[in-house]
């Protein structure tokens, strides 16, 4: 009987300890989130890459609306330092903009991503760092609903960078910038233009995928398709299969194959 009593007491103590630890964790997370506000200022302790920073309170912040070249690549279960073209330049420019400085955060509809990072427009003084990265050619627009507050302004900034051949856009409109699907894998991390025939299409819950020869793909988020073009998502084969299209953007590698993610329909043109 005494042994049973001791067991019940020990179990109860364990449960109480577990509840206290979980409550403490929840309180700490809630306190950290409640300390984040649109009218407060925070010190940037570290620039992680061209579109991600860490604040002095250890919150990581991912810039809304842009995508910059990666400085690291995942190999097996580890991340290794393998900067893509312009990745180091993008990180350096971001450091110049915000590292060690007091910044203000502006939020959109979704405040955190699946990695628990804050999603924000980051201001150093009157300048939005997100916008400056795009304007100077260190990043491309990355439209991901519902955070689309400044999409039109990002498009204008990107056009300015392209027109002035800044950074990622330096050789897009030259012969070097126009490649075939067979050359796509050798151009990972670069902004390139490809003209080719769509061999097949594939629909998922969120994506419309155009397939080409040499395992190249163009990926369109359905939420980014304008209302007037929704038929392309309803009958993609009828709309695209067998047609020649021109697509441009940052070539990335996904599961060993090259692809361009289309964040604005201006990146895609049906030729014939």
| Residue 62 designated active-site | yes
- Tell which residue, 104, 128, 109, 107, has the closest CA to residue 51: 128
C-alpha–C-alpha distance, residues 8 and 39, integer Å: 51
Identified catalytic residue from 72, 112, 117, 178: 117
Question: Is residue 121 classed exposed, middle or buried when 0-12, 13-18 and 19+ CB atoms within 10 A define those classes?
Answer: buried
C-alpha–C-alpha distance, residues 65 and 131, integer Å: 8
| Residue 70 designated active-site | yes
C-alpha–C-alpha distance, residues 219 and 78, integer Å: 26
- Tell which residue, 76, 87, 77, 92, has the closest CA to residue 252: 87
Identified catalytic residue from 59, 70, 89, 259: 70
- The residues that are catalytic are 62, 70, 117
């Amino acid at each position: 009987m005494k042994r049973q009593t001791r067991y019940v007491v020990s179990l109860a103590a364990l449960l109480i300890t577990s509840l206290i630890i979980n409550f403490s964790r929840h309180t700490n997370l809630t306190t950290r989130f409640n300390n984040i506000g649109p009218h407060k200022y925070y010190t940037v302790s570290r620039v992680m890459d061209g579109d991600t920073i860490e604040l002095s309170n250890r919150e990581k912040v991912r810039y809304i609306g842009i995508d910059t070249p990666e400085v690291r690549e995942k190999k097996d279960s580890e991340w290794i330092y393998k900067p893509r073209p312009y990745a180091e330049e993008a990180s350096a420019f971001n450091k110049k903009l915000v590292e060690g400085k007091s910044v203000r955060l502006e939020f959109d509809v979704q405040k955190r991503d699946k990695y628990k990072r804050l999603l924000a427009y980051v201001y150093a003084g009157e300048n939005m760092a997100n916008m400056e990265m795009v304007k100077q050619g260190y990043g491309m627009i990355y439209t991901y609903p519902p955070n689309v507050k400044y999409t039109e302004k990002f498009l204008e900034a990107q056009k300015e960078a392209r027109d002035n051949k800044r950074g990622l856009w330096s050789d897009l409109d030259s012969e070097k910038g126009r490649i075939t699907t067979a050359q796509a894998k050798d151009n990972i991390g670069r902004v390139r233009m490809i003209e080719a025939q769509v061999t097949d299409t594939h629909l998922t819950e969120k994506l419309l995928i155009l397939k080409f020869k040499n395992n190249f793909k163009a990926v369109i988020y359905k939420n980014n398709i304008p209302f007037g073009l929704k038929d392309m998502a309803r009958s993609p084969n009828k709309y695209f299969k067998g047609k020649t299209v021109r697509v441009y953007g940052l070539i990335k590698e996904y599961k060993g194959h090259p692809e361009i993610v289309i964040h604005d329909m201006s990146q895609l043109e049906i030729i014939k």
